[in-house]
Amino acid sequence: MTDNTAANQQTALAQYGEELLPVFGAPSLVIDRGDGCYVWDLDGKRYLDLLGGIAVNAVGHNHPDLVAAVSKQAGEMLHVSNFFTSRAQVALAHELLRISRVPEGSRVFFANSGAEANEAAIKLSRRTGRSKIVACEGAFHGRTTGALALTHKAAYREPFEPLLPDVVHVPFGDADALRSAVDDRTAAVFLEPIQGEAGVRVADDEYLRAAREITSAAGALLIVDEIQTGVGRTGDWLAHQRSSIVPDAVTFAKGLGGGVPIGAMVTFGAEVSALLQPGQHGTTFGGNPLACAAGLAVIDVIERDDLLDNARTLGEWFAAAVDDLDDERVAGVRGRGLLLAVELRDELSADVVTAARNAGFIVNAVAPNAIRLAPPLIIAQEQLQTFVDALPTLITEATS
């Protein structure tokens, strides 16, 4: 690359630092374009994207079906107010109800993001006439003020306290602790089937079934946050479906639009769906035709190309391939489908991520000793193999 091109990236990063609020920290790259499972920075260097925009780019970058759907919709209509609806909005609601396997009387509310979907779910729970909410230690439900009250990490919460009151956090995966915390004042329990931001920690099926039993007995809602795990990420349309529970509400976002911002809450059954009445909640851009057209394309590609099976098969293959490395510095792989974490024995993940980026891989240090992978669901075994082959060298470089 020419010096001029390199200077352009440096200039862009410097301008970012001068003109954007530093809430995300300093970005390491200017990503200029993408294609499939690869992205290129402004210097023209290629990277295998094993993070997929943190589980957002479900069908990869620049997928022709997604581009065609968005282009067609943009040529027809970008926005209508909520005094009206659109074909795309109605069609996507139908598809969300189908893949969610809901009972009669279920409904959809569209938002713009996962945090907004959870805000809707919080308001839904308040309509039970109760205010207490139980969430889990390690939980991440968003950074808007209501969702932040449910998020557990102190560094996110404490600068903005006091937050929404009457929120209790219990140890994740501990059914006895959950049973002790839920009472006749509890409006809802919020659960992630897999805690992505806490290091890709999986709730077992028995725990999810216990949560359903406990909330039903107390007359509380069970709200499952599938913002990171939904839309095929774990090899099922929704991660909780493997446990065969029927929640009261589910929240979507990340992979749903394949990169176009959209969130959604699905309410299960007529009784729960009747909790929110006209005028009690709303959004200007939720259900935007462009975002809904993107969501329809994502669901169609996942179904047509059998990407649920691809996620299941490659997730299992990756865990076995890393185990076959027999590298004593690796403790194992956790997660499900294509939401995975490589657990290291030492707290090296930040340095491994830097070494990986230098070698042309994008991964994420989700914990001091864990590297998160959430690649596009279209990824091939041959592409994952290149990262497995490189992993021992990346760890060595991180320790040197």
Q: Which pLDDT tens digit goes with each residue over 359-387? A: 999 999 999 999 999 999 999 999 999 99
The single residue listed with the structure tokens 């969702």 is 147
pLDDT reading at 44 higher than 80 = yes
The single residue listed with the structure tokens 């909330």 is 215
**Residue 143 known to bind ligand:** yes
Which band of pLDDT confidence, cut at 50, 70 and 90, is reported for residue 187? very high
In angstroms, the first-to-last Cα distance of the chain is: 28
Half-sphere exposure of 47 (CA within 13 A, CB side): 30
pLDDT reading at 293 higher than 70 = yes
Kindly give, in sequence order, each residue whose CB lies less than 8 Å from that of residue 171, ignoring residues fewer than 6 positions away. 136, 137, 177
**Residue 192 known to bind ligand:** no
Query: What is the structure's pLDDT at 172?
Result: 98
* Averaged pLDDT for residues 263-276: 98
**Residue 115 known to bind ligand:** yes
Query: What is the structure's pLDDT at 1?
Result: 42
d(CA 188, CA 215): 7
Query: Burial of 29 by CB count in 10 Å (0-12 exposed, 13-18 middle, 19+ buried)?
Result: middle
Strands (E), the chain: 31-35, 38-41, 46-49, 107-111, 132-136, 167-170, 186-191, 194-195, 201-202, 221-225, 249-252, 263-267, 330-336, 339-344, 361-362, 364-367, 370-373
Q: Tell me phi and psi for residue 75, to 5 degrees.
A: -75, -15
Asked if 73 and 290 count as a contact pair (C-beta separation under 8 A), the reply is yes
**Amino acid, res. 213:** E
Please report, to the nearest 10 degrees, the dihedral formed by the alpha carbons of residues 373, 377, 381, 383 taken in order. -70
Query: What is the structure's pLDDT at 7?
Result: 61
Query: Burial of 165 by CB count in 10 Å (0-12 exposed, 13-18 middle, 19+ buried)?
Result: exposed
Largest pairwise CA distance in the chain: 67
Query: What is the structure's pLDDT at 400?
Result: 87
Which band of pLDDT confidence, cut at 50, 70 and 90, is reported for residue 283? very high
d(CA 107, CA 270): 8
Query: Burial of 277 by CB count in 10 Å (0-12 exposed, 13-18 middle, 19+ buried)?
Result: exposed
Per DSSP, helices labelled H in 240-380 are 270-273, 289-304, 307-324, 349-358
- Can you list the domains of the chain with their CATH numbers? 9-62+306-399 (3.90.1150.10), 77-305 (3.40.640.10)
What b-and-e string marks burial along 292-330, b requiring 16 or more CB atoms within 10 Å of the CB?
bbbbbbbbebbeeeebbebbbebbeebbebbeeeeeebb
Query: What is the structure's pLDDT at 8?
Result: 85
Query: What is the structure's pLDDT at 262?
Result: 98
d(CA 261, CA 337): 23
**Residue 226 known to bind ligand:** yes
* Averaged pLDDT for residues 34-48: 97
Asked if 268 and 247 count as a contact pair (C-beta separation under 8 A), the reply is yes
pLDDT reading at 234 higher than 70 = yes
CA-CA-CA-CA torsion sign (236, 238, 243, 244): negative
* Averaged pLDDT for residues 239-247: 97
* Averaged pLDDT for residues 344-349: 97
Which band of pLDDT confidence, cut at 50, 70 and 90, is reported for residue 200? very high
Looking at the chain, the whole-number percentage of residues with pLDDT higher than 70 is 98
Asked if 31 and 231 count as a contact pair (C-beta separation under 8 A), the reply is no
Q: For residue 116, what are its two tokens?
A: 């907004």
Asked if 267 and 103 count as a contact pair (C-beta separation under 8 A), the reply is no
**Residue 228 known to bind ligand:** yes
**Amino acid, res. 328:** E
* Averaged pLDDT for residues 132-141: 98
Nearest to 116 by CA among 295, 285, 292, 232: 285
The single residue listed with the structure tokens 């969130």 is 263
Looking at the chain, the whole-number percentage of residues with pLDDT higher than 90 is 97
pLDDT reading at 143 higher than 80 = yes
pLDDT reading at 347 higher than 80 = yes
**Amino acid, res. 241:** Q
**Residue 284 known to bind ligand:** yes
Query: What is the structure's pLDDT at 3?
Result: 47
Asked if 191 and 177 count as a contact pair (C-beta separation under 8 A), the reply is no
* Averaged pLDDT for residues 223-236: 98
Nearest to 52 by CA among 197, 233, 201: 233
Which band of pLDDT confidence, cut at 50, 70 and 90, is reported for residue 349? very high
pTM of the model: 0.96
